[in-house]
């Protein structure tokens, strides 16, 4: 049975513990207790999270008793004290995996563990992490990153993706998929996937523009002309174009391209479909047009995106 330790401290963010459910339901799926979760703090005893809810914890002890240590995040930047730093540093050679969720990356950074490594954290504090610890190779737009035995994830729900990736490594993709279904989440976003969503970045203010975007996302193979989108929004083409730019700051054509890029990148990362098929399914019409769009947006062609995703899974 693998011991999963969660390092907690006063004011930790409770969303970090969402990852615990992934380990819990792995036990349910396998009908065997393959994971035991332990909650650790410097002195043990009750620890209140950022909402004031109290968790009972045990003192640190010997990190070698753990298979995996995961450091919880906080609502803001919280640096570890000397005892926490020493425990995290000692856990690197003693455990099979050392991980952080969200701003927990600052604990690993303070212990020097991330020096020379690729790492990520919540996008909101990624530049602060890079500024404080310039030896880290920050990739601020990643869901999670595996560099050797060190795992770091983005903020909030990305901890679930991190846990599902660990479960996939330990017990295979089918078990991880079954657990994801139990959690009613998408089966593990790939580590290379962006923390941002094209729809979230647009943030339309009216239901009409949102309807047009929903229509576009569901019909990427179509031409998606301004006339089609305007009809979905129940506006004239002229009214629609004016309202769309006013609410999103983008032209309809640019927004559609971003939606296509997001869908195409996801297909490249998580499927084995040929590039021609991906281009057709996402409305790029041909692979060359998609390649140019990828180079503009990501600085890499589709093949490189797929290769990076596959290498991430093999780490």
Are the C-beta atoms of residues 72 and 16 closer than 8 Å to each other? yes
Residue 103: CB atoms within 10 Å: 27
Token reading at 13? 């963010």
**Sites in the chain below the pLDDT cut of 50:** 191
Residue 295: CB atoms within 10 Å: 13
Q: According to the model, what pLDDT value does residue 200 have?
A: 54
Task: Give residue for tokens 């391209």.
Answer: 257
Class of domain 2-183: alpha beta
CATH architecture of 198-314: Orthogonal Bundle (1.10)
Task: Express each pLDDT in 295-313 by its tens digit.
Answer: 888 788 999 888 877 776 5
- Separation of alpha carbons 215 and 213, rounded Å: 5
Task: Give residue for tokens 């993709």.
Answer: 173
Q: According to the model, what pLDDT value does residue 198 have?
A: 58
Token reading at 69? 């240590």
Q: According to the model, what pLDDT value does residue 195 have?
A: 52
Q: According to the model, what pLDDT value does residue 130 have?
A: 94
CATH 3.40.50.880 domain range(s) in the chain:
2-183
Task: Give residue for tokens 């610890």.
Answer: 133
Q: According to the model, what pLDDT value does residue 139 have?
A: 85
Q: According to the model, what pLDDT value does residue 157 have?
A: 87
CATH 1.10.10.60 domain range(s) in the chain:
198-314
Task: Give residue for tokens 């979905």.
Answer: 232
∠33-37-41 over CA atoms, to 5°?
Answer: 160
Q: According to the model, what pLDDT value does residue 237 have?
A: 93
Mode of pairing for the β-strands spanning 54-59 and 137-138: unpaired
């Amino acid at each position: 049975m693998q011991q999963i330790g969660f390092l907690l401290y006063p004011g930790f963010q409770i969303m970090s513990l969402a990852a615990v459910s992934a380990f819990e339901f792995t036990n349910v799926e396998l009908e065997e207790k393959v994971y035991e979760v332990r909650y650790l703090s410097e002195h043990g005893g009750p620890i209140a999270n950022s909402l004031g809810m109290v968790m009972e914890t045990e003192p640190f002890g010997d990190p070698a008793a753990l298979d995996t240590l995961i450091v919880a995040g906080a609502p803001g930047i919280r640096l570890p004290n000397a005892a926490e730093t020493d425990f995290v540093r000692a856990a690197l050679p003693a455990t099979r995996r050392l991980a952080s969720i969200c701003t927990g990356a600052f604990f690993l950074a303070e212990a020097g563990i991330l020096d020379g490594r690729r790492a990520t954290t919540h996008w909101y504090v990624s530049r602060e992490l890079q500024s404080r610890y310039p030896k880290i190779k920050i990739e601020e737009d990643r869901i999670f990153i595996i560099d050797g035995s060190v795992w770091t994830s983005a903020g909030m729900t990305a901890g679930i993706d991190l846990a599902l990736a660990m479960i996939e490594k330990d017990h295979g993709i089918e078990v991880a998929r079954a657990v994801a279904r139990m959690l009613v989440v998408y089966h593990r976003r790939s580590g290379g996937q962006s923390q941002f969503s094209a729809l979230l970045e647009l943030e339309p203010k009216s239901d009409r523009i949102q309807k047009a975007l929903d229509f576009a996302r569901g019909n990427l193979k179509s031409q998606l002309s301004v006339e089609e989108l305007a009809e979905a929004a129940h506006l004239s083409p002229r009214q629609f174009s004016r309202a769309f730019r006013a609410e999103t700051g983008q032209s309809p054509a640019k927004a559609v391209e971003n939606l296509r890029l997001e869908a195409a990148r996801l297909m490249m990362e998580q499927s084995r479909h040929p590039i021609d098929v991906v281009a057709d399914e996402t409305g790029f019409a041909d692979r060359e047009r998609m390649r140019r769009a990828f180079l503009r947006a990501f600085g890499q062609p589709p093949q490189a995106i797929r290769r990076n995703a596959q290498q991430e899974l093999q780490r």
